[in-house]
Structure 1
């Protein structure tokens, strides 16, 4: 515990010493002492990216949340820290003085946090996953998390994205990994990493013989779709269907593997995630129909904003973020 109290004392003394930069007497006020490490991290990230959107992406926060955090920090310091330009923010003289001290405080906070990194992670974490993520991502994700932390007590539910969000809202799950950004009050949805959607057909389908497809070629075709509430169905409805002159849903299935099998027999076309289709494409069970545009399929981490975050939740959430960053490369 000696090192812990040493670090806390240093952090306190460095906060008080910020007055030496002559920003404002307000630095010594009670308001200054309420500055959070989150505010300092937001400030330092914006300072290095000069753009709220880029900073928000790196921090896994919304752009409004980053803007509010900066304004609160400036209010507490009683000084502006940036020059606001039309498309960017640049440090002013106040911000330039604060940045090295913010970096030092954040580094010491990270050291303080590392004192607890090896603490035992106890309890159970309840994870909800969409079907593509549960079948094709979660096994590797959990194996890596268990290897890193030694924690093996996870309860998994594989559902469609809408049902994951509903169970989170009812506090039946701790965290969700889903394929759709489903607005729901009290839930946080953070971009995780980018998958893409593939158009697939049977290898003997007439469109499989063409080098490329247009929306006109896809109009009037029979389609096999996931059920309402699934991320894949949402992507088809929002990104593809509006461009088709007409289309017919010949079959609705609640499992992507079943859809791929149905496509392989010639029952219709499908729009499925690359995660789901990769094995069938590699085995030449089905063929991808090239389209001139890429249909993005973002994956999301979601959780209840005001639910208590256990150390186990924080560890798993952090590992998921690192996993997603590695996948996006």
Structure 2
């Protein structure tokens, strides 16, 4: 074999940092040691992996092909190292989740997972679908739990559980008396919606796409709790996941509206990079997610675990 794991480690760090000096700092190496390691890797293999512009290094076409393979090999090497040192192999796990999943499912799932594997360092990144897709594609996080469509060519997309949006209003709103609304009535209301780029907004816009009518969008907000508070205050009506609203519906602080003309169904998905090695932590966390939703037809039927 014409390269070492240390050389691959330096290569990955330089690719991520686009600088030998910054890569050296991240690996606790001297700059000369990191530079020598990278030079030896390219000399021994007879391949150039970077385009060089002054002190800045950017991956060339071959380097972009090698990067995911090198990262996967290093992940496997870390698992072997953990096993040989008597550890479980659950080193770390970085999960990305869109807002509905992150706020109402992922935190409890991660809490349960960490109770079973206290030695595993877990991080959760909660953002909208577009951002989570980009982070998974760039290897910034291990896997994503998203509520919007993903067409990225480098990612595997696996269905998880069905979800449904619901239009809702405050109990004192005129539409609350009937519990349903026609499309014409909806077009006459002021709306408070999620921001563009969110999975919720994409589903809602797609449902309205067949109708050439405009909405009066009063507010666009990034957080479902802020939307719920705004609707409770009488600022307008909205449409978000039933999962995020089930407690409010039980309390009666918000009221669902039937909208038979709109198809607001959607799917929750798992996503990960096609070339990323699935660690033991990733595999077990995905299994825990699937176990939570076994036999469940829709997300708002999920029985959430209690975290001690």
- TM-score, normalising length from structure 2? 0.64
- Check conservation: 1:216, 1:244, Cα contact below 8 A: no
The equivalent of 2:297 in structure 1 is 328
The equivalent of 1:143 in structure 2 is 111
Secondary structure of 1:137's match?
helix
**Residues 1:300 and 2:276 are matched in the alignment:** no
**Residues 1:313 and 2:282 are matched in the alignment:** yes
**Residues 1:226 and 2:188 are matched in the alignment:** no
Cα offset, 1:174, TM superposition: 0.2
Secondary structure of 1:144's match?
helix
The separation in 1 between residues aligned to 2:150 and 2:163, in whole angstroms, is 17
Query: Judging changes above 3 Å, is the alpha-carbon distance between structure 1 residues 136 and 217 closer, same or farther for their aligned structure 2 residues?
Result: same
Query: Judging changes above 3 Å, is the alpha-carbon distance between structure 1 residues 188 and 139 closer, same or farther for their aligned structure 2 residues?
Result: same
- Check conservation: 1:215, 1:244, Cα contact below 8 A: no
Matches within 5 A, 1:156-305: 156-240=124-208, 242-243=210-211, 245-292=213-260, 295-305=264-274
Secondary structure of 2:164's match?
strand
The separation in 2 between residues aligned to 1:121 and 1:328, in whole angstroms, is 33
The CA deviation string for residues 121-177 of structure 1, in whole angstroms up to 9 with x for no partner, is 321110001111111111331233334555542111111111000111111000100
- TM-score, normalising length from structure 1? 0.60
Gaps of 5+ in 1: 1-117
- Check conservation: 1:196, 1:274, Cα contact below 8 A: yes
The separation in 1 between residues aligned to 2:273 and 2:190, in whole angstroms, is 39
Cα offset, 1:299, TM superposition: 0.6
Secondary structure of 1:194's match?
strand
The count of corresponding residues between Structure 1 and Structure 2 is 212
- Check conservation: 1:221, 1:269, Cα contact below 8 A: yes
The separation in 2 between residues aligned to 1:148 and 1:239, in whole angstroms, is 41
The equivalent of 1:129 in structure 2 is 97
Gaps of 5+ in 2: 1-85, 299-308
- Which has the bigger relative contact order, CA under 8 A and spacing at least 6? 2
The separation in 2 between residues aligned to 1:164 and 1:187, in whole angstroms, is 12
More helix by share: 1
Secondary structure of 2:294's match?
helix
Secondary structure of 1:325's match?
coil
The separation in 1 between residues aligned to 2:209 and 2:238, in whole angstroms, is 12
Deviates more, 1:288-297 or 1:194-203: 288-297
The separation in 1 between residues aligned to 2:251 and 2:210, in whole angstroms, is 31
